[in-house]
Amino acid sequence: MTHRKTAALLSIIPGLGQFYNKQWVKGFVFLFLAACYFIAFLDFLNIGLWGIVTLGTEVPRDHSIFLLVNGVISLIVVAIGLGFYVLNFYDAYQNGNKRDMGLQLATLREQYHNVIDKGFPYLMVGPGFLLLVFVVIFPIIFMLLLSFTNYNLYNSPPNKLVDWVGFQTFIEMFTLDIWRETFISVFAWTIIWTFTATTLQIGVGIFLAVLLNQKDLKFKGLMRTLLILPWAVPAFVSILIFSGLFNDTFGAINNDILAAVGIDSIPWMTDPFYTKIALIFIQSWLGFPFVMAMTTGVLQSIPGELYEAATVDGASTWDKFRKITLPMILFTTAPILITQYTFNFNNFNVIYLFNNGGPAIPDQNAGGTDILISWIYNLTMTSAQYSKAAAVTVMLSIIIVSVSLFYFRKTKSFKDEGMI
Amino acid sequence: MKKLLALPLTFALAASALAACGPQEDSTSTGGKKEASSKKPEKLVIWEDQEKGMGTKDAIKKFEEKHGIKVELKEIPMLDQQEKLRLDGPAKKGPDVITTPHDRIGPLAIEGLIAPIEVSDDVTKLYTESSINALTYDGNLYGLPKSTETPVFIYNKKMMDKAPESLEDLMAFSKGDKGGAQYGYLANWTDFYFAHGVLSGFGGYVFKDDNGTLDPKDVGLANEGAVEGLDYITSWYNEGLFPKGIIGEKAGSTIDGLFTEGKAASVMNGPWSFQGYKDAGIDIGVAPMPKLPNGEYVKTFIGVKGYNVSAFSENQEWAAKLVEFITNEENSKVRYEKTAEIPPVVSLMEDPIIADNEAAKAVAVQSERGVPMPNIPEMAEVWAPAANALQLSATGKSKPQAALDSAVKTIGQNIEANHSK
């Protein structure tokens, strides 16, 4: 038998392969870590793996949701353990292979330097990555798994156990009339909302930034400060104030502004069409300062020679904007602009705080301006449909992730070659 | 090579791990709970509503002296207690007694977060029948009532000499001089909580009451009476007596604003608003709701706050004793004096301390005329569709009959989708 096979086979117990390769310290470290792993986690893994498969068998001893949490953590711990185990095989096999080829194995000192030199980035990233797994990935897996259960009011611990139901929750989303019908109309408005509100806020932001960047403009600082203000005031406060300003009977918009120019009262809060207009306006107001600030930064970095050259070639101001300024802005800020779209797709605050998705419309389960996220919030929070909430969140995430990924890959910003 | 080796090994490991998995079966661990609970505990924990602790302190001190059990009082906002109990209960950090509005009792009982209590008839007789009904779910009593509240008629004494007898008088007043105010009367009748009194006064109902059990399949919100009620509500909007700006989510705060600015002579609101109105410098008078045009009383929703025993408590019997003690006549009276929340204790309703207080008397009288808010979980599906119907009718987008029919249909669908067991 070759050294590499023997070493790999002995590695079934971590460390033995390394011992066989006469790398005593490394072997001892592997053995020690493996022992620690089993001593520390065996009980936890036992309950965790049992729990995630069965979700409990007996009330009130078993609390399905806690078991599910334990189970997910166990799976992560197992994955880390397996990764370590594979590393153990790989190391023994590689070093056995070296022996087969008659090469000298690295001494302890060389191994140490190897780890420090080549493994340095990994050593530094490791703890952060581990933290990330538990803080970011763990909740996502938990939510994903929740969507495959029947967790709702009537299957709630501690009184009842939660069960795995597979795709049933997803199927119900499309087979139950009340969910499907409203879903379609709400989805349509969500798309319109995302595109109009975001495009408007980006357009206004870029326009104002270019305007403020004109060389001979006076009081630039003051104007910039004023235009940043909507961003400085917490959106939460602004939206509530706007909801007062737009009040049909008492709001300043109808009573003072529109009345002054002789326009009749507009039903901002009671007619879905006007509520939508108001919402889009408010979101543009809240969103443009950020785009403007970002664009201002980009504008500073565009080299003046480009414009000088363009002037020499006889380009008009509009040509310069279209051919130089705009592409430069979009190239630099595209990733952030895309996130603006995804943000508005799920912009719960403005919808919920302005009119709580209202006004009412006949024969529908959602309000006239409810976007997916606010509709789902209302439906699930009133009826304690936790698994449905999870299922819809999964579907929303899939939409957002795929659209974002598609556009992130399309923009030039993520390709290695520069703009200029 | 390494893959070939690793794969079967992984499976072998996983299989062996799973086979040996699971908690150690120990059948005796769950059986002994009842016996343990009658043993005197060292300490009980009670979660009281925020800023209401001063009303319970004396009673707790007396309980500690009487039984030699330490009682720890924690103030937690009442509406957060359910959420907190869900996590703290299983972790054994939870309380023995919690405070909850009665309409959450159904969901809490289904989730198994609160436990039923057993008390003698002498105890239940202390309280008004409606308040005990409110705390009963599925034939079991889940706690004892602490206080009751319901919307009443509140007026500005500078603009109105005394409360009108009927809503017709009130409407005439609103069309007339309004006591100098911009609006004679304002009520958030696009919110089902407030509108229910009118709809049900005309004969509508949410769920059919079948000897104390509510039937979620029989929704009476589109019957003749309910439609008549909504017709009546809509007439207030059509006559221009209620402004269009008090529709939807922000209506309540707008009404409060108009009343405290002296622009409205009277409003419909609950006891929670009294202090704010007084702080705003309004000299308020409080009365039961004026009668409906058909001569019936406005049957407002009654809310009952109660003390309930946590299902996670290891001393449920003693927790029930504590609940019984702090809600008895004597301690309820003390709590009323300190917090001004009206206890639904029958003898106290006649007591001068409530009977001579105009506001308390009004709430007490109106409470007897109202109906308890349904405490079954299906109620969650009623609020939004009902409010939609009210809004659509008030803004003239639907006729009352059509609006209510559509609401009842939606309620039925939602109940079917979310509450089929």
Q: Which residue of A has its CA nearest to B190?
A: A360
- Residue A418 pLDDT level (bands cut at 50, 70, 90): low
How much is the mean pLDDT over chain B?
88
Cβ–Cβ < 8 Å for B227, B195: no
Cβ–Cβ < 8 Å for A301, A329: no
Q: Kindly tell me the burial class for residue A122, based on how many C-beta atoms sit within 10 Å of its own C-beta (0-12, 13-18, 19 or more).
A: exposed
Given CA atoms B61, B63, B69, B74 in this order, what sign does their dihedral have? Answer: negative
- Residue A409 pLDDT level (bands cut at 50, 70, 90): confident
In this complex, which of A158, A358, A385 lies closest to B112 when CB atoms are compared?
A158
pLDDT in tens, A223-260: 999 999 999 999 999 999 999 899 888 889 999 999 99
The β-bridge relationship of strands B140-141 and B136-137 is antiparallel
User: Which residue blocks in A16-118 are alpha helix, DSSP H?
Assistant: 16-20, 24-54, 64-100, 108-118
Q: What is the mean pLDDT of residues A115-137?
A: 89
Q: What is the pLDDT of residue A110?
A: 85
| Interface probe, candidates A1, A62, A154, chain B, greatest B C-beta count within 10 A | A154
Cβ contacts of B93 on chain A, cutoff 8 Å? none
Cβ–Cβ < 8 Å for B303, B20: no
Q: B247 and A359 in contact by Cβ < 8 A?
A: yes
Structure tokens at B348: 């106290």
Q: What is the mean pLDDT of residues A28-52?
A: 91
Q: B377 and A93 in contact by Cβ < 8 A?
A: no
pLDDT in tens, A358-381: 888 777 778 889 998 898 888 777
Q: What is the mean pLDDT of residues B135-145?
A: 93
Q: What is the pLDDT of residue B91?
A: 84
Report the distance separating Cα B71 and Cα B58, nearest Å: 11
Distance (Å) from the alpha carbon of A49 to chain B's nearest alpha carbon = 7
Q: Is residue B17 over pLDDT 80? A: no
Cβ–Cβ < 8 Å for B378, B207: yes
Q: A158 and B312 in contact by Cβ < 8 A?
A: yes
In this complex, which of B17, B21, B418 lies closest to A383 when CB atoms are compared?
B418
pLDDT in tens, B272-284: 999 999 999 999 9
Q: Is residue B34 over pLDDT 50? A: no
Nearest to A397 by CA among A365, A372, A366: A372
Report the distance separating Cα A134 and Cα A75, nearest Å: 11
CB-based contact, A178 to chain B, within 8 Å: yes
**Considering just the CA atoms, what is the radius of gyration of chain B in Å?**
25
Q: What is the mean pLDDT of residues A207-218?
A: 89
Cα B419 → chain centroid: 21
Distance (Å) from the alpha carbon of B52 to chain A's nearest alpha carbon = 27
Report the distance separating Cα B364 and Cα A47, nearest Å: 54
Q: Three-state SS for B128?
A: coil
Ramachandran category for residue A176: left, alpha or beta (phi over 0 → left; psi -120 to 50 → alpha): beta
What interface predicted TM-score (ipTM) does this complex get?
0.77
CB-based contact, A47 to chain B, within 8 Å: yes
Query: Which domains are present in chain A?
Result: 3-165 (no CATH), 171-417 (1.10.3720.10)
Q: What is the pLDDT of residue B27?
A: 45
Cβ contacts of B380 on chain A, cutoff 8 Å? 382-384
Q: What is the mean pLDDT of residues B91-102?
A: 92
Q: What is the pLDDT of residue A420?
A: 55
Q: What is the pLDDT of residue B32?
A: 39
- Residue B6 pLDDT level (bands cut at 50, 70, 90): low
Cβ contacts of A85 on chain B, cutoff 8 Å? 6
Helix axes A372-383, B383-394, angle to 10 degrees: 120
pLDDT in tens, A167-182: 998 898 888 777 788 8
Q: What is the pLDDT of residue A109?
A: 85
Cβ–Cβ < 8 Å for B101, B78: yes
- Residue A347 pLDDT level (bands cut at 50, 70, 90): very high
Distance (Å) from the alpha carbon of A53 to chain B's nearest alpha carbon = 9
Cβ–Cβ < 8 Å for B278, B76: no
Residues forming a β-bridge with B71: B44
Cβ–Cβ < 8 Å for B105, B82: no
Q: What is the pLDDT of residue B9?
A: 53
Query: Which has more pLDDT, B245 or B327?
Result: B327
Tokens 């910003």 correspond to: A413
Report the distance separating Cα B287 and Cα B155, nearest Å: 8
Q: A358 and B249 in contact by Cβ < 8 A?
A: yes
Query: Which has more pLDDT, B393 or B15?
Result: B393
Q: Is residue B292 over pLDDT 50? A: yes
User: Which A residues, 293 through 332, put their C-beta within 8 Å of a C-beta on chain B?
Assistant: none
Q: A158 and B113 in contact by Cβ < 8 A?
A: yes
In this complex, which of A172, A243, A248 lies closest to B244 when CB atoms are compared?
A248
Share of chain A above pLDDT 70, in %: 98
Query: Which domains are present in chain B?
Result: 15-149+302-372 (3.40.190.10), 152-301+375-419 (3.40.190.10)
Q: What is the mean pLDDT of residues B159-166?
A: 92
- Residue B349 pLDDT level (bands cut at 50, 70, 90): confident
Report the distance separating Cα B307 and Cα B356, nearest Å: 27
Cβ contacts of A378 on chain B, cutoff 8 Å? 384
Report the distance separating Cα B62 and Cα B60, nearest Å: 5
Q: B388 and A63 in contact by Cβ < 8 A?
A: no
How much is the mean pLDDT over chain A?
89
Cβ–Cβ < 8 Å for A5, A89: no
Q: What is the pLDDT of residue B48?
A: 93
Report the distance separating Cα A27 and Cα A8, nearest Å: 13
Q: A362 and B29 in contact by Cβ < 8 A?
A: no
CB-based contact, A5 to chain B, within 8 Å: yes
User: Which A residues, 68 through 127, put their C-beta within 8 Å of a C-beta on chain B?
Assistant: 82, 85-86, 89-90, 93
pLDDT in tens, B404-421: 999 999 899 888 888 876
In this complex, which of B2, B30, B113 lies closest to A90 when CB atoms are compared?
B2
**Considering just the CA atoms, what is the radius of gyration of chain A in Å?**
30
pLDDT in tens, B207-242: 998 877 899 999 999 999 999 999 999 999 999 999
Q: What is the pLDDT of residue A210?
A: 92
Q: A356 and B21 in contact by Cβ < 8 A?
A: no
Cβ–Cβ < 8 Å for B346, B122: no
Whole-angstrom CA distances from B69 to B43, B309, B318, B332 are: 6, 16, 9, 21
Q: Is residue B12 over pLDDT 60? A: no
Give the Cβ contact number of residue A368 at 10 Å.
Answer: 21
Q: What is the pLDDT of residue B15?
A: 52
Q: A248 and B384 in contact by Cβ < 8 A?
A: no
CB-based contact, A272 to chain B, within 8 Å: no
